[in-house]
Amino acid sequence: MRIAFVTLPLASHTYVFTALARILGERGHDIVFLGLPDQARMVQDAGFDFIAFGESEFPDGEAKRRFDALAAMRGEEGITHIMQLLMKIGESALNDGQSALIESGANAAVLDFVVRGFEAVAIRCKCPYVHVSAALHSDYSGHTPMLFYDWKHEETPEALARNRAALKRFAQMTSPLRTKIQAYLEEGGVQLDWSDPYALISKRAWITQVPRAFDFPNPHWPPQFQHTGPFVDPHVRPHVEFPWDRLTGDPLIYASLGTMQSGSAALLRMIVEGAYKRGRQLVLSLGKNVRMEELGPVPEEVIVVQYAPQLELLQRAALCISHGGLNTVLESLIHGVPIVAIPLTNDHPGTAARIAYTHTGRFLRPSDASAERLRLLVDEVLADGSYAAAASKMSRIIAADAGFPRAINIVESALQ
């Protein structure tokens, strides 16, 4: 089987999909990635063929420029920006994704849930496809809060009304792309039940890497939706140098705001001030948007790097300070590391709400963030063993579920 993978040109999403692709390739399937031009190098460095689409709207460097703009955005501003960008990517998929899929020779597809529009291409090409949620998944039933919000899970009439009002707003934001998708499919002679919010979702399989134990309870998912577990494969991660000899052996706090949204030197300085104290050590990964000199002086025991070997550091960490990006949170929980999250935008608040729900850590809204408040949360999570116990329990559940191998089996079975 020749399988086309489609995902965003972001390291976090590409790691998830190249992890799946590598194992499926080892099982004898031919793999090709389809994506925006900016993704070519990441995919090819991982050893896979790549075919670009969207070259007119997103010439080389354009997607990076638009995604990089998120670094300075928080909350609603970031949500609006990413939704508009995803709709542009969806339009590009409708414009020339079909030619890319045909050129690839693929007879099956694995699609990133957030790259809307490409499922319509697969439908018109009669190409079987499955969906994978690399970011936090979306609940269109209204029984749990949308991923953009850090709301608690409640089942009161007021909470359900609040959730459904958010869904309605989301539907209004995405209606221009949905109208174009509908026209594209009708032009190809395809009729769908557009009253079904899951009309475009694969009927074969929709997988999230969120473990069921880390999610809100919800019996209203469609039958093809499946929780598996994190898709973590060290083989597809680039090697990152690190001054291991500087680790002191004190309790280690690893802090990272991700590669895309770590755009505020002030926020990173606040993390240093709030997290560091004598008797413990802080490792801070700046990401691509802040330079060392912008951060200013730090205590000698604080290790500041542009990029960090995250998986290796989490094996040693007592706490992770994160933006609430799903990959970093799940990788922390794999190693039983509790989390203090500062959810910046997009799906980070929804992930932070699940951290609180499972007692695997705490979160601090950016609007409330200060070094003093962060210090209180860090001290609480480190001192109160119940957080580490909950994170360790989640680690055991993730290991027992064997979610990554199970996800591979689901994808392979569904496409065959």
Domains of the chain, residue spans? 2-234+401-415, 240-400
Cα separation, 231 vs 404, whole angstroms:
5
Q: Quick one: pLDDT at residue 258?
A: 85
Q: For the chain, what is the mean pLDDT?
A: 94
pLDDT the model gives residue 291 = 87
- Burial (CB count within 10 angstroms: exposed 0-12, middle 13-18, buried 19+), residue 287: buried
CB 113 within 8 A of CB 137: yes
pTM assigned to the model: 0.94
CB atoms within 10 A of CB 267: 18
Taking 80 as the threshold, does the pLDDT of residue 261 lie above it? no
The Cα 266–Cα 282 span in angstroms is 17
pLDDT: which is higher, 262 or 107: 107
Q: How far apart are CA 66 and CA 82, in angstroms?
A: 9
Instruction: Decide if pLDDT at 262 tops 80.
Output: no
User: Hey, which residues does 52 pair with through a beta bridge?
Assistant: 35
Beta strands 252-256 and 281-285: pairing type? Answer: parallel
Q: Helix 371-383 and helix 385-401: axis angle, to 10°? A: 70
CATH 3.30.1360.120 describes domain 240-400: no
Measured in degrees and rounded to the nearest 5, phi and psi for residue 192 equal -125, 160
H or E segment and range at residue 400: helix 385-401
CB 97 within 8 A of CB 117: yes
Dihedrals phi, psi of 5, to nearest 5 degrees: -105, 135
pLDDT tens, residue by residue, 52-84:
999 999 999 999 999 888 887 888 888 899 999
Taking 70 as the threshold, does the pLDDT of residue 263 lie above it?
Answer: no
Tell me how far apart the alpha carbons of residues 349 and 324 are, in angstroms, rounded to a whole number.
7
Say what the pLDDT of residue 96 is. 93
Cβ–Cβ < 8 Å for 37, 18 = no
Average pLDDT over residues 334-341: 98
The rounded distance, in Å, linking the Cα atoms of 143 and 158 is 11
pLDDT per position as a tens digit, 352-403: 999 999 999 999 999 999 999 999 999 999 999 999 999 999 999 999 998 9
Angle among Cα 259, 264, 266 to the nearest 5 degrees reads 140
Residue 293 has pLDDT above 80, yes or no: yes
| Dist. CA 160–CA 372, nearest whole Å | 35
CATH number of 2-234+401-415: 3.40.50.2000
* pLDDT reported for residue 236: 79
CA distances from 390 to 277, 326, 358, 384 (A): 25, 18, 7, 11
Residue 90 has pLDDT above 90, yes or no: yes
Angle of CA points 35, 37, 38, to nearest 5°:
100
Smallest CA-to-CA distance from 339 within 353, 78, 347 is with 353
